[in-house]
Amino acid sequence: MSDQHDDFDGLDDFAGPRDGLPEGALADDDPDDGLLEEELRQAAAILDPVPAGLRQVAVDAFALHDLDARVAELTFDSLVDAIPVRGEADPPRMLTFRSDGVTVDVEVTADGLIGQVLPPGPARIEVLSGPRAHARLTADDMGRFTGDAPPAGPFALRLRTGGEVVVTEWLRA
């Protein structure tokens, strides 16, 4: 038994201080932490820069951080909730979003978007689609709007009706 104990006698030479940090580790209050962090940031910026498209997506996502915006929840999606129609090869996708008295009905077709904001009234609508430029649409006095290009990939709608901002959930086109 003493032979086994003798094998571990040298471990104390490798153990660090008793506060749990290994020998040579930086403590939180070490002034070199800030310098090391800055050097690591600079190295990462040079060796592994953030792609421009990803940076734009991050900026766009931050732009959605609007404390006054209300999120409109998806309440109907024809891909999930509708009964398939026989003979219809490529039926349009019907979506309904609701948020505290505002309803947005959207039809997504191969030709673009057709929709209506309820209660009826003018609105500015942005079709958010990641790193691509946002399509800007305008709803008329009846709340109707159209867009020439269908969204590709994930998309959401941001509506500005008067002083109110409503953002829909993100969906895949």
86-113 tens-digit pLDDT:
766 778 899 999 998 899 999 998 889 9
Q: What is the pLDDT of residue 144?
A: 97
140 against 52, higher pLDDT: 140
To the question of pTM greater than 0.75 for the whole model, the response is no
CB atoms inside a 10 Å sphere around CB 72: 22
Q: What is the pLDDT of residue 13?
A: 47
Whether the per-residue pLDDT at 165 is higher than 80: the answer is yes
Round the average pLDDT of the chain to a whole number and report it.
Answer: 79
Nearest Cα to Cα of residue 121 among 109, 100, 103: 103
Task: Tell me whether strands 123-128 and 112-118 are parallel, antiparallel or unpaired.
Answer: unpaired
Residues 6+ apart with CB under 8 A from 114: 106, 107, 144, 145, 146
Whether the per-residue pLDDT at 40 is higher than 60: the answer is yes
Report yes or no: 165 and 68 within 8 Å, Cβ to Cβ. Answer: yes
Q: What is the mean pLDDT of residues 56-67?
A: 68
Q: What is the pLDDT of residue 11?
A: 45
Dihedral sign from CA coordinates of 44, 46, 48, 49: positive
Dihedral angle, C-alpha 85, 156, 71, 104, nearest 10 °: -50
- Which amino acid type is present at position 95? L
Q: What is the pLDDT of residue 136?
A: 92
Q: What is the pLDDT of residue 66?
A: 60
Q: What span, in angstroms and rounded, lies between the C-alpha atoms of 158 and 33?
A: 42
170 against 2, higher pLDDT: 170
- Which amino acid type is present at position 91? P
